[in-house]
Amino acid sequence: MRPLRRSLWVVVIVLLLGTQSASAFPEKLTASGQMDFAYGAAVASAGGEGSYGKPESKLFYTGDGATQPIRWWAVLGTSGDATTSPGVYLWQLVDHVWVKTLQFPGADPWAKADTLLDGQLLYVSLRDEKSSTQTNPQQSLLYTVPYLGGGTWGTPSMPSIITTQGPGLLTIAKDSLGRLWTAYTNRGAVRVGSTSPGGNAFTLVSLPVGAVTTDDKAAVTSFGSNKIGVLWSDQNSKRFLFAWRSDGEPIGTWHMETAYGDGVGGCPTATSDLCADNHINIKTDGDDVYVAVKTSLGDAPNADKSDPLVALLRRDASGTWAAWTVSTVGVNGSRPIVVLSPSADRMYVFGRKNSSGVRVWESSLSSPSFTPSASTPWTSNGIDNFDDATSTKQPATAASGVVVVTSRLSQSEYWHNEFLPQASSPDLAPTAALTVTPSSGNAPLAVTADASASTDTDATPISTYAFDFGDGTTVGPQAGATAQHTYAAAGSYTVTATVTDTAGLSSQATAAVSVAPHEFVGNPGFEASTSGWYNGGYAAVTMSRFAGGHSGSWSAQLVNTGTATVQCTLDDSPNSVATTSGGTYTGSLWVRADTSGATLKLRFREREAGTTLVQQITTVTLTTAWQKVTVAIIPTSPGSSTLDFAGYVPSAPQGACFYADDASIVQS
């Protein structure tokens, strides 16, 4: 055995394949693949070429690229050479070269594998298609091999027999109860087998369905968290059919569906109803089932070159089947397999195209759409036929890349190519952004905090928003990017938005809010009217709006229209403070006159039931410039009294008395 060299350790921080555009393939190992080693005539003597087995997956990988390095493995047969005995081996891909690791005891070199890695235990079925003789009983076998970690395996189990019938093609799956399942076709029947939980002895039965042709094939898969599905071709009814069961249902319970044909998936077409061939390959993503199939639409006498020859079928969680064309009759693809990369929202279909070797088509996973003419070479040399792509049941990840093995028929050689893993930018926290509208005002102040401008451009998008309004009020975490709040008290506040992505990374943004005390005066600036004010009941005094003010466009003008001196009064009516409460009330008024010298008084009177309880007065001498006058009062009967607020010149001669603007009453 060749010594194992250091395996590829690829540290991947975010999703590799997610960086690919809709029409760009990931970087390949080589332009057209590389030759691995010859498998020889013994391998090809039964069951197809070395990598043959359309539904079967002969490759898998271990590790996640972070806690353990990614290691790719393959179960392949060899006819042997001077240093290697004929048989079936587990091979490790070391620096892009397959290195044999262990041999499966008793396995014939022509046996073809299907692999299933379940945690730390590898299941391998080896299909035997050679005619049974006394020296060679036709037995398809099951092996288990424990994975010890670090690229090390335990000893393979001795094989148990799956079937002694020539199964054509054979796949295995495991349900949530620990039962193994297998499916294949034999003599026109779709055969399904299962073990007891944790067992390895299969009980085989035929599905209760119509007879299929001897050319048809079947495959089994687990999907969702608790289901087993069997898909098979039925060229008699010209359909692909699907049977599924929940793990908790009695053995023998099956639910039947048409996956393609008989009107499902757009087949029959306008020219042909030959919707089925025997090429199938199944992969799953949660509750969704994906199947690459080949039709027989190219066999119709009047075949339409635009009809689908290779199609990708999808059964969604609701049980609805749909189909997308991968290769048309004119493109002439064949023997497809599909590899899924859910984390990158991509899927790849590998298949033979005419004599140009094995090629690969790609599509979005969530919104499938293939371009039949847009494939890229996988393995080819421009001379020979390459065929029989095989890969893994597992989803491709950022760390794993994709490895697919094929066969070069004329020389009985294994070839492979790879979509290489690549390091990418680290997963970063979101960039939080926050605006608060309005950012200032009088209490009670209703504001809206908006973090919708926050961004997260990597593979882990924003999932929640949380808001702290700085006065003890918090909102979220929530999916919505906005939140509302009303400040009851005056003060300066800092609003903080915390934005968190699906990986749990978060960042914060802040915004300031300034809340002034509650303003009791409803019409402080006389910009539209003089409502809320009156002249104190003095008949000779008029109150009107005057163009030009302290802060706005207007102010109030008080005029003595009589010939005698009179008290010119600007009084709030009704009282701006209708009912007092505890605390200090501060009133202010900006005033001026046409000439300097008059005395103006600013007054608060606390009144209750028509009686003045207390009053406070501030006196100033008017000038021609605007000045602010302030008066304060502490109510003596809070809760039952009211405040009257007025500015007045006690003894004003005929003419303009004074001008007033920007009245205010606040409480502290």
Average pLDDT over residues 614-624: 96
Q: Identify which has the larger pLDDT, 451 or 427.
A: 451
pLDDT of residue 137: 86
Average pLDDT over residues 182-206: 97
φ, ψ dihedrals at 343, nearest 5°: -65, -25
Instruction: Enumerate the β-bridge partners of residue 358.
Output: 352, 379
Q: What percent of the chain has pLDDT over 70?
A: 96
Tokens encoding 528: 């539209």
The mean pLDDT value of the chain amounts to 93
Contact yes or no for 407/388 (Cβ under 8 A): yes
List the 599-608 sheet strands across, edge first.
533-534, 566-572, 642-652, 599-608, 611-621
- Architecture of the domain made up of 435-516: Sandwich (2.60)
Is it the case that residue 21 has pLDDT exceeding 50? no
pLDDT of residue 37: 97
Place of tokens 């080589």: 30
- Non-local (6+) Cβ contacts of 381 within 8 A are 32, 357, 408
Q: How many C-beta neighbours within 10 Å does residue 504 have?
A: 9
Nearest to 8 by CA among 89, 72, 60: 72
Average pLDDT over residues 446-466: 94
Contact yes or no for 163/150 (Cβ under 8 A): no
Q: Report the predicted TM-score, pTM, of the whole model to 2 decimal places.
A: 0.65
CATH superfamily of 533-667: Galactose-binding domain-like (2.60.120.260)
568-584 pLDDT tens trace: 999 999 999 999 999 99
pLDDT of residue 668: 85
Average pLDDT over residues 496-510: 96
- What is the three-class DSSP state of 519? coil
Distance CA 485, CA 342 (A): 40
Hey, what amino acid is at 428?
Answer: L
Tokens encoding 429: 């926290």
Give the DSSP per-residue string, 566-627.
EEEEEEESS-SBSS--SS-EEEEEEEE-SSS--EEEEEEEEEETTEEEEEEEEEEE--SS-E
Q: Identify which has the larger pLDDT, 422 or 450.
A: 450
pLDDT of residue 356: 82
Residue 368 CB-half CA count within 13 A: 24
Domain 23-419 and domain 435-516, same fold? Reply is no
What phi-psi label fits residue 188: left (phi over 0), alpha (psi between -120 and 50 degrees) or beta? left
Is it the case that residue 559 has pLDDT exceeding 80? yes
Nearest to 417 by CA among 407, 408, 405: 405
CA distances from 647 to 18, 82, 107, 602 (A): 72, 115, 109, 4
- What is the three-class DSSP state of 181? strand
504-549 pLDDT tens trace: 999 999 999 999 988 899 999 999 999 999 999 999 999 999 999 9
Place of tokens 């009516």: 573
Average pLDDT over residues 114-134: 93
Average pLDDT over residues 314-334: 97
Distance CA 535, CA 158 (A): 110
pLDDT of residue 147: 98
133-144 pLDDT tens trace: 777 889 999 999
Is it the case that residue 112 has pLDDT exceeding 50? yes
DSSP at 429: P
Distance CA 107, CA 139 (A): 10
pLDDT of residue 458: 83
φ, ψ dihedrals at 309, nearest 5°: -100, -40
List the 358-364 sheet strands across, edge first.
333-341, 346-353, 358-364, 376-379
10 Å CB burial of residue 491 (0-12, 13-18, 19+) is: middle
Is it the case that residue 24 has pLDDT exceeding 90? no
Contact yes or no for 244/254 (Cβ under 8 A): yes
- Non-local (6+) Cβ contacts of 55 within 8 A are 114, 169, 171, 217, 218, 219, 280, 281, 282
264-315 pLDDT tens trace: 999 999 999 999 999 999 999 999 999 999 999 999 999 999 999 999 999 9
- Architecture of the domain made up of 23-419: 6 Propeller (2.120)
56-80 pLDDT tens trace: 999 999 999 888 999 999 999 999 9
Hey, what amino acid is at 22?
Answer: A
479-495 pLDDT tens trace: 999 999 999 888 999 99
Place of tokens 């424990």: 146
Place of tokens 């898909």: 231
What phi-psi label fits residue 441: left (phi over 0), alpha (psi between -120 and 50 degrees) or beta? left
Hey, what amino acid is at 166?
Answer: G
Split at pLDDT 50, 70, 90, the class of 425 is: low
6-15, 322-331, 345-354: range with lowest mean pLDDT: 6-15
pLDDT of residue 423: 66
Per-residue 3-state assignment (H helix, E strand, C coil) for 232-275: EEECCCCEEEEEEEECCCCCCCCEEEEEEECCECCCCCCCCCCC
Distance CA 337, CA 333 (A): 11
Domain limits of the chain? 23-419, 435-516, 533-667
pLDDT of residue 66: 84
Strand pairing of 386-390 and 402-408?
antiparallel
Contact yes or no for 421/39 (Cβ under 8 A): no
